[in-house]
Amino acid sequence: MHTLYSRLGANVTAFLARPHRLLIDGQWVEPRSERRFDVEDPGTGAVIARVAEGTAADIDLAVAAARRAFESGPWATSRPAERTRLLLRLAELLEQHGDELAQLETLDNGKPLAVARRGIAGTADMVRYMAGWATKLTGEAVPLSMPGEWHAYTAHEPVGVVGQIIPWNFPLSMAIWKLAPALAAGCTVVLKPAEQTPLNALRLGELILEAGFPPGVVNIVTGFGGDAGAALAAHPGVDKVAFTGSTQTGKRIVQAALGNLKRVTLELGGKSPVFIFPDADLEAAIPGAANAIFFNSGQVCSAGSRLYVHRRVYDRVLADIAAHGERLRLGHGLEEGVDLGPLISRPQRERVEAYVADGRASGVEVLGGRQVLPEHGHFVAPTVLADTRADLRVVREEIFGPVLCAMPFDDDDLERLAGLANDTEYGLFAGIWTRDLTLAHRFARRIRAGSVSVNAHMVNDPALPFGGYKQSGWGRERGREALELYCELKSVAINLG
Ligand code: ADP
Ligand code: MG
């Protein structure tokens, strides 16, 4: 298995071997704890690097540096066009180092190299999109009706020092989705990557320095959630915390943020429904619904994990999705032709396996999931649980693995179908497959979710807002909305006499 590592570029091998420190105030510094922790390749279980264990003491230093940069450094008076220029430079560096970043992403997270490579290209697009907003975040002149003559206007001002806590499923993309709008808006940042996948955040830190961002604008503290993460969420010197991860941890973030009432945005879990109507183009809907759950081995917050199929086409759709899953090649992300990598860790694999066992125990039929798994690494085969019921744990809880729960419907009543879609504490995403546009529009309106795709799944355009209703989160990422959530809105009224 390790022979695969000979495919790594020299720059990747060199990066892995470097001593990894924390980025604070433009310098790479040792953690106060003087401890390091192991970073594992989930495709082999081997330790590939050791990174600094940042703790509350390092968070204090990072927040202080971010505060100085926000209030008195060159960033404090930076013109919007200067922020655009720096972000565009960063986008170029992401592209230049695309192969290297993709290899690191694969090693750290496990995903197939081709998938990682596409993800890196997407990060450059996101940075460019957000870079453009820096010069376009206008307020408005407000006509007042009070007696007298007035000039009143609104203006967006950066919220200040932002703590950003990100998950392990798309390590670099999640860092970029968080950093790009915050920097475009003029905030300064302390970023804490997930302990499972800290590598690309560190490489990104190097590229951020190379792009020329002033010291303290971006600080990166690797460390554990319960320690560095909790300290960041609770820190009185942080004006906003932005989090992506589990709903359970999101609730802890909210509690930690109460102390200084910092602003909070959350992008949390999901149990997103996909509906296939009998008139749908099944040639597209079947692979679409399969990818919606199997992509990234199901470790996607917006995964289409509940599938509702009209009874007329149910048997065929299920058999074909299971067959699609069985054709997917599982393997180490650096292997040629691999479709699915491992899950992120042993505990994650055990969690997912326990859900499948629970489904089996409650009597549902299990389709697929029979591939021979690679010997090393935390692999789970794509699995379809057929004829599931709304009350089952596998249908109610987020599994975060390649496990689809399928149910037939034979109802034409959209209110009742929306009742099925909305029978969840989450509300992140929904998919609709039909050729009937009227049906699609009417159904989309009735679904309580932040994103709906029709005849497509996961439309990740930087311009399209993404975020959750209900317990899937607060706020939106991507689009203008993401920037506005890194701003305070000020209104100014001038008495002209
Ligand atoms: P998982 O349980 O799969 O690791 P989490 O939602 O707990 O998912 O983790 C997402 C991110 O949140 C990671 O960066 C993790 O370190 C961080 N995190 C975990 N617990 C806390 C916490 N109590 N406070 C702040 N951040 C946390
Ligand atoms: Mg890892």
**How confident is the model over 272-322, as pLDDT tens digits?**
999 999 999 999 999 999 999 999 999 999 999 999 999 999 999 999 999
Q: How far is the CA of 42 from the centre of ligand 2 (A)?
A: 6
Per-residue pLDDT of 205-220, as tens digits, reads 999 999 999 999 999 9
Per-residue pLDDT of 344-386, as tens digits, reads 999 999 999 999 999 999 999 999 988 899 999 999 999 999 9
Q: Does the CB atom of residue 229 touch ligand 1 within 6 A?
A: yes
Query: Taking a C-beta distance cutoff of 8 angstroms, is the pair 73, 217 a contact?
Result: yes
pLDDT of residue 292: 98
Share of the chain above pLDDT 90, in %: 97
Q: Are strands 27-29 and 22-24 parallel, antiparallel or unpaired?
A: antiparallel
Per-residue pLDDT of 378-409, as tens digits, reads 999 999 999 999 999 999 999 999 999 999 99
Q: Which residue's C-alpha comes closest to atom 24 of ligand 1?
A: 230
Q: Is residue 497 part of a domain?
A: no
Specify the number of domains making up the chain: 2
Residue to mutate (ligand 1; options 249, 300, 348, 399; most atoms within 8 A of CB) = 249
Q: How far is the CA of 30 from the centre of ligand 2 (A)?
A: 21
Q: How confident is the model at residue 1 (pLDDT cuts 50, 70, 90)?
A: very low
Atom of ligand 1 nearest to the CA of 232: 25
Domain encompassing residue 401: 273-468
Say yes or no to pLDDT of 2 above 80: no
Q: Is residue 233 part of a domain?
A: yes
Instruction: Report the sign of the C-alpha dihedral through residues 422, 425, 427, 431, in that order.
Output: negative
List Cβ<8 Å contacts ≥24 apart for 244-251. Answer: 244/165, 244/166, 244/167, 244/174, 244/177, 244/178, 244/268, 244/301, 244/477, 245/165, 245/166, 245/167, 245/194, 246/167, 246/398, 247/398, 247/425, 247/426, 247/471, 247/472, 249/225, 250/473
CA-to-CA distance for 319 and 449, rounded, in angstroms?
28
Q: Is residue 336 part of a domain?
A: yes
Same domain, 72 and 137: yes
Output the domain CATH number for residue 312. 3.40.309.10
Q: Does the CB atom of residue 226 touch ligand 1 within 6 A?
A: yes
Q: Does the CB atom of residue 399 touch ligand 1 within 6 A?
A: no
Q: Is residue 359 part of a domain?
A: yes
Q: Is residue 375 part of a domain?
A: yes
Q: How confident is the model at residue 176 (pLDDT cuts 50, 70, 90)?
A: very high
Q: Does the CB atom of residue 205 touch ligand 1 within 6 A?
A: no
pLDDT of residue 82: 98
CA-to-CA distance for 286 and 2, rounded, in angstroms?
36
CA-to-CA distance for 68 and 319, rounded, in angstroms?
59
Q: Are strands 150-158 and 487-495 parallel, antiparallel or unpaired?
A: antiparallel
Share of the chain above pLDDT 70, in %: 100
CA-to-CA distance for 241 and 255, rounded, in angstroms?
12
Output the domain CATH number for residue 254. 3.40.605.10
Q: How far is the CA of 164 from the centre of ligand 1 (A)?
A: 11
Atom of ligand 1 nearest to the CA of 165: 14
Average pLDDT, the chain: 97
Q: Is residue 141 part of a domain?
A: yes
Q: Which residue's C-alpha comes closest to atom 18 of ligand 1?
A: 225
Same domain, 463 and 478: no
Same domain, 99 and 247: yes
Same domain, 409 and 479: no
Say yes or no to pLDDT of 80 above 60: yes
Atom of ligand 1 nearest to the CA of 166: 14
Same domain, 131 and 264: yes
Same domain, 252 and 297: no
CA-to-CA distance for 181 and 128, rounded, in angstroms?
10
Q: Is residue 496 part of a domain?
A: no
In terms of Cα–Cα distance, which of 332, 327, 331, 302 is closest to 460? 302
Q: Is residue 436 part of a domain?
A: yes
Atom of ligand 1 nearest to the CA of 223: 16
Q: Does the CB atom of residue 246 touch ligand 1 within 6 A?
A: yes
CA-to-CA distance for 206 and 460, rounded, in angstroms?
26
Same domain, 252 and 305: no
Judged by phi (left if over 0) then psi (alpha if -120 to 50, else beta), residue 475 lies in: left
Per-residue pLDDT of 419-462, as tens digits, reads 999 999 999 999 999 999 999 999 999 999 999 999 998 899 99
Cβ partners under 8 Å of residue 22, min gap 6: 28, 29, 30, 31, 52, 54, 58, 62, 219, 220, 221, 222
Q: Does the CB atom of residue 194 touch ligand 1 within 6 A?
A: yes
Same domain, 112 and 186: yes
Q: Which residues are catalytic?
A: 267
Tell me which H or E stretch contains 154: strand 150-158
CA-to-CA distance for 184 and 124, rounded, in angstroms?
14
Average pLDDT over residues 192-214: 98
Q: Which residue's C-alpha comes closest to atom 7 of ligand 1?
A: 249
Written as six digits, the tokens of 375 are 């010997």
Q: How far is the CA of 157 from the centre of ligand 1 (A)?
A: 29
Per-residue pLDDT of 111-134, as tens digits, reads 999 999 999 999 999 999 999 999
Q: Does the CB atom of residue 225 touch ligand 1 within 6 A?
A: yes
Same domain, 304 and 453: yes
Q: Which residue's C-alpha comes closest to atom 17 of ligand 1?
A: 225
Around Cβ 308, how many Cβ atoms within 10 Å? 20
pLDDT of residue 73: 85
pLDDT of residue 411: 85
Per-residue pLDDT of 4-53, as tens digits, reads 999 999 999 999 999 999 999 999 999 999 999 999 999 999 999 999 99
Query: Taking a C-beta distance cutoff of 8 angstroms, is the pair 385, 403 a contact?
Result: yes
Same domain, 184 and 217: yes
Per-residue pLDDT of 209-250, as tens digits, reads 999 999 999 999 999 999 999 999 999 999 999 999 999 999
Q: How far is the CA of 34 from the centre of ligand 1 (A)?
A: 22
CA-to-CA distance for 92 and 124, rounded, in angstroms?
7
Looking at the CA of 175, which ligand is closest? 1
Q: How far is the CA of 453 from the centre of ligand 2 (A)?
A: 31
Same domain, 438 and 483: no
The three-class DSSP label of residue 102 is: helix
Same domain, 351 and 481: no
